[in-house]
Amino acid sequence: MMSLPFFGLFAGMALAIAGWRGAAMLAWALSMTVLALLFRQHATDALNIVL
Amino acid sequence: MSTGTALLDPARSRLLNTFGLFAVAAVLLVAFLDQILYRDLPCPLCILQRVGFCGVGLGLVLNLRFGARPSHYAVAILSAMAGALVSVRQVLLHIVPGTGSYGDALLGLHFYSWALLLYVAVIGGCAVLLLFDRQFAMPSPDARPAGTLAMAALVLMAALTFGNGVSTVLECGAGLCSDDPAGYELLPARPATP
């Protein structure tokens, strides 16, 4: 599951090289969304710091 | 009407983006070499930081393929911001003395600290490049990556992105990665050295 954003961005690069700009941008947006969701899964503990 | 001089015309912009793409690829390459040569497995947050660099790379790839556009720099900046968010989280996890660290240090800083510094550099660098309007002159309709140098950068970046995906599958399988990975889930464990 954690490899999804890599493959999404790789697809974006392949689409860009093939000349499909809009599809490449969409692949990037989806990959960043997956990145945010995965980050949420891994950032569950409160930080032990005082801000 | 643009009033600036052509300090950064489309050709120079493309060259700078090519060098930038090589620099981002070098960051991923160093992390990959550390992983393979020193068996320093990336943690989940480390993997997400690598995703951020690949996103920056995609922004530069778009610039090389379609000509420089503000939206392509936005892709790079937003990717760097996402990666920096992950880096900040990891730096803060270990910022209090005595709370340990993760992985090897390189030139005195751990990889997540380097990542944060590099993300700030990427954001600053893209913001500076956005100051030069002449680079956004319309490219010819059949604009393609100029020369072998740009194509080499494109292929290297794509290969490293794909390689990181494969490496993550080997390390974590189909699920989430362990917070403190001890080995590759999909590779046979190495025998313990006496």
Judged by average pLDDT, the poorest of A19-28, A42-51, B84-93, B153-162 is A42-51
Q: pLDDT tens across B100-109, in order?
A: 778 787 888 8
Higher model confidence: residue B87 or residue B135? B87
C-alpha–C-alpha distance, residues B99 and B132, integer Å? 44
- Using a CB-CB cut-off of 8 Å, the residues of chain A touching B47 are 2
The structure's pTM equals: 0.89
Q: Decide if the complex's ipTM is over 0.85.
A: yes
Contact call for B176 and A48, based on CB within 8 A: no
CA angle (A41 as vertex; A49, B52 as ends), nearest 5: 85
Q: Which residue of B has its CA nearest to A3?
A: B165
Please report the pLDDT score of residue B101 as a whole number: 76
- Most A CBs within 10 A among B49, B53, B58, hence the mutation to make, goes to B58
Report the number of secondary-structure helices (H) and strands (E) in chain A.
2, 0
Residues of A with CB under 8 A from a CB of B: 1-3, 5-7, 9-10, 12-14, 16-17, 19, 21, 24-25, 28, 31-32, 35-36, 38-39, 41-43, 47-49
Please report the pLDDT score of residue B181 as a whole number: 76
Own/partner long-range contacts of B6-11 (Cβ < 8 Å, ≥24 apart): B6/B134, B7/B132, B7/B134, B8/B129, B8/B132, B8/B134, B8/B135, B9/B134, B9/B135, B9/B137, B10/B67, B10/B68, B10/B134, B10/B135, B10/B136, B10/B137, B10/B139, B11/B146
Q: pLDDT tens across B3-24, in order?
A: 445 788 888 889 999 999 999 9
Please report the pLDDT score of residue B144 as a whole number: 56
Q: Which residue of A has its CA nearest to B180?
A: A42
Please report the pLDDT score of residue B5 as a whole number: 56
The mean per-residue pLDDT over the stretch B63-86 comes to 95
Contact call for A24 and B55, based on CB within 8 A: no
Q: What percent of chain B has pLDDT over 90?
A: 54
Q: pLDDT tens across A10-46, in order?
A: 999 999 999 999 999 999 999 999 999 999 988 877 8
A-B CB pairs within 8 A amount to 111
DSSP state at residue B40:
-
pLDDT grade for B1, boundaries at 50, 70 and 90: very low
Q: Which residue of B has its CA nearest to A5?
A: B51
Higher model confidence: residue B161 or residue B100? B161
* Shortest alpha-carbon distance between residue A4 and chain B (Å): 7
Judged by average pLDDT, the poorest of B57-71, B75-89, B102-116 is B102-116
The mean per-residue pLDDT over the stretch B61-88 comes to 95
Contact call for A9 and B62, based on CB within 8 A: no
